[in-house]
């Protein structure tokens, strides 16, 4: 009943400029047949920006490759790969304006790149060096960049969702024509804050975009064990606003959906939930071994629609790219990553006393006393930073 009941599906439209994806059943056995929304092609990804989008995706993919190896070599402590989600991230981020606020989870490296964060600033965070904007406080990938309105990520799942709604409420109060966009995964749709955030956003009609990258897996749990809903997007209808499913490997579909959601939000028409269906090619993180729960054949099948290759083929077909130039761009991306790694690795580590800063604007008496005591232990040679 649940996969085919037309009433259940009525409220969420499916946007895709591509064909029905044959591997979607791998993501969810309950997935509905996509319907193409008439408005889907109205606002395609700007053609002039396609090469730049492709190069950003290459840079993200090259960063993944390199960082997985850095982690295995023990040079960084941890890494969260994003391979498979490049089009969803680049397409959505490119549809935003610099004044908009992004509330990321911890897998949004390509979003940060699109927002204008220099790759080396991300590497600084991965190495937790003294140039890290977050001062070595968090595990790799939990970065944040105020200058790019890219709010610092945390590990708890879904907590950024209500925060994005609150920031949108504040923008409403200030009459600022901006939107907030919360990134989260399929697993987060089970969290407390997903419900609370969606509910508040509906009640106050906030200018918020809920951008769910449904990559099929919440660590080991497949999407169809997360919820009985045929789609995630249809959950929006229960909160009184629009939910759409997009093919997350389709740059045009993602971009168009976010542009439309943004326009509606700015016009006062409230929030939109966008479910971008993608596939997590890699492990959840470097601490995860997907062979324990996921047959490799599923990944191989999903990779037939690798978003990086899809865009490559499109650029080739448009005469904007050939094999030689593609190889050149790959080479340039890997060189850029190598340069950023070299730079970040060469920077001194964080100051050993700096972990005592930023608990409060001004340290309490107790924190000052703890700092004094630690400094004494260092002087006495008991603690060796």
Partner 1 sequence: MTERTLVQAVNRGLFEAMQADPDVVLLGEDIGVNGGVFRATEGLAQQFGTDRVVDTPLSETGIVGTAIGMALYGLKPVAEIQFLDFIYPAFDQIVSELAKFRYRSGGQYPCHVVIRTPYGGGIKGGLYHSQSSEAYFAHTPGLKVIVPSTPADAKGLLLTAIQDEDPVLFLEPKRIYRSVTGEVPDGDHRVPFGVARLVREGTDASVFAYGAMIPPTVDAAETLAGEGISVEVIDLRSLVPLDEAAVVASVEKTGRAVVVHEAPRTCGFGAEISALLAERAFYSLKAPIARVTGFDTPFPYALENVYLPDAARIAHAIRSTVRSG
Binding site for partner 1 (CB under 8 A): 101, 103, 132-135, 137-138, 142, 144-146, 151-152, 154-156, 159, 161-171, 173-174, 180, 192-193, 195-197, 199-200, 203, 357-362, 364-366
Residue 96: CB atoms within 10 A of its CB come to 23
CB 130 within 8 A of CB 350: yes
Q: How far is the CB of 99 from partner 1 (least distance, A)?
A: 12
Q: Which of 173/291 has CB closer to partner 1?
A: 173
Tell me how far CA of residue 44 lies from CA of 95, 138, 251, 259, in angstroms: 10, 37, 8, 9
Residue for token digits 């850029």? 336
> Between β-strands 208-214 and 180-185, what pairing exists: parallel, antiparallel or unpaired?
parallel
365 labelled catalytic? no
Nearer to partner 1, 365 or 385 (CB): 365
Catalytic residue among 61, 242, 264, 284: 284
- Reduced to 3 states, what is the DSSP secondary structure of residue 45? coil
- Measure the CA–CA gap between 240 and 243, rounded to whole angstroms: 9
For tokens 């009640």, what's the residue? 203
Kindly tell me which of 166 and 282 has the beta carbon lying closer to partner 1.
166
Residue 13 CB burial class (10 angstroms; 0-12, 13-18, ≥19): buried
Measured from the CB atom, the residue of 69 and 155 that comes closer to partner 1 is 155
**Residue corresponding to tokens 């708890």:** 156
Q: Looking at 19, 72, 225, 293, which residue is catalytic?
A: 293
Rounded to 5 degrees, φ, ψ at 221 are -90, 120
Contact between 15 and 253 under an 8 Å Cβ cutoff? The reply is yes
Minimal distance in Å, beta carbon 155 to partner 1?
8
Our CB check for partner 1 shows the closer of 22 and 156 to be 156
Q: Minimum distance from CB of 152 to partner 1 (Å)?
A: 4
In the bound complex, what is the minimum distance in angstroms from residue 344's beta carbon to partner 1?
15
Rounded Cα distance, 263 and 270, in Å: 10
Cβ at position 137, least distance to partner 1 in Å: 5
Phi/psi at 14 (5° precision): -110, 125
Shortest distance (Å) from residue 109 CB to partner 1: 17
Q: Which run of H or of E encompasses 22?
A: none
Backbone dihedral angles phi then psi of residue 124, each to the nearest 5 degrees: -55, -40
Asked if residues 53 and 251 have their Cβ atoms less than 8 Å apart, the reply is yes
CA distances from 291 to 162, 297, 385 (A): 34, 11, 39
- Angle 84-8-158 (CA atoms, 0-180°, nearest 5)? 45
Check if 142 is active-site.
no
279 is an active site residue: no
Least distance in angstroms from the C-beta of 180 to partner 1: 7
Instruction: Name residue, tokens 């609370």.
Output: 196
Q: Which is nearer to partner 1, 1 or 361 (CB)?
A: 361
Tell me whether residue 15 or residue 96 sits nearer to partner 1 (CB atom): 96
Candidate list 223, 262, 280, 312, residue with the active-site label: 280
Cα-based angle 235, 241, 246 (whole degrees, multiple of 5): 65
Q: Which residues belong to the active site?
A: 280, 284, 293
């Amino acid at each position: 009943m649940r996969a085919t009941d037309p009433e259940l599906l009525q409220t969420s439209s499916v946007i895709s400029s591509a064909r029905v994806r044959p591997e979607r059943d791998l993501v969810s056995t309950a997935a509905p047949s996509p319907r193409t929304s008439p408005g889907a092609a109205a606002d395609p990804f700007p053609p002039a920006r396609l090469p730049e989008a492709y190069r950003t995706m290459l840079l993200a993919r090259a960063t993944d490759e390199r960082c997985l190896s850095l982690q295995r070599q023990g040079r960084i402590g941890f890494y969260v790969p994003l391979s498979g989600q490049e089009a969803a991230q680049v397409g959505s981020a490119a549809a935003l304006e610099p004044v908009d606020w992004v509330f990321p989870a911890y897998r949004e490296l390509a979003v940060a790149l699109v927002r204008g964060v220099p790759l080396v600033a991300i590497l600084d965070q991965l190495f937790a060096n003294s140039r890290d904007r977050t001062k070595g406080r968090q595990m790799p990938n939990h970065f944040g960049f105020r200058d790019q309105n890219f709010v610092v990520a945390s590990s708890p799942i879904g907590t950024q969702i209500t925060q994005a709604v609150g920031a949108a409420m504040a923008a409403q109060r200030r009459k600022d024509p901006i939107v907030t966009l919360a990134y989260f995964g399929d697993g987060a749709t089970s969290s407390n804050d997903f419900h609370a955030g969606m509910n508040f956003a509906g009640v106050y009609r906030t200018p918020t975009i809920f951008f769910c990258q449904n990559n099929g897996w919440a660590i080991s749990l497949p999407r169809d064990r997360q919820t009985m809903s045929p789609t995630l997007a249809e959950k929006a209808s229960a909160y009184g606003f629009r939910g759409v499913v997009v093919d997350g490997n389709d740059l045009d579909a993602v971009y168009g959906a976010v542009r439309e959601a943004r326009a509606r939000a700015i016009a006062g028409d409230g929030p939109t939930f966008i479910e971008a269906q993608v596939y997590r090619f890699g492990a959840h993180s470097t601490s995860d071994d997907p062979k324990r729960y996921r047959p490799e054949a599923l990944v191989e099948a999903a990779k037939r629609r690798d978003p990086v290759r899809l865009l490559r083929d499109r650029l080739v077909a448009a005469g904007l790219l050939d094999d030689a130039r593609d190889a050149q761009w790959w080479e340039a991306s890997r060189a850029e990553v190598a340069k950023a790694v070299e730079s970040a690795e060469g920077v001194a580590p964080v100051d050993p006393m700096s972990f005592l800063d930023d608990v409060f604007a001004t340290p309490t008496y107790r924190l000052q006393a703890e700092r004094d005591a630690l400094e004494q232990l260092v002087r006495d040679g008991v603690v060796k930073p």
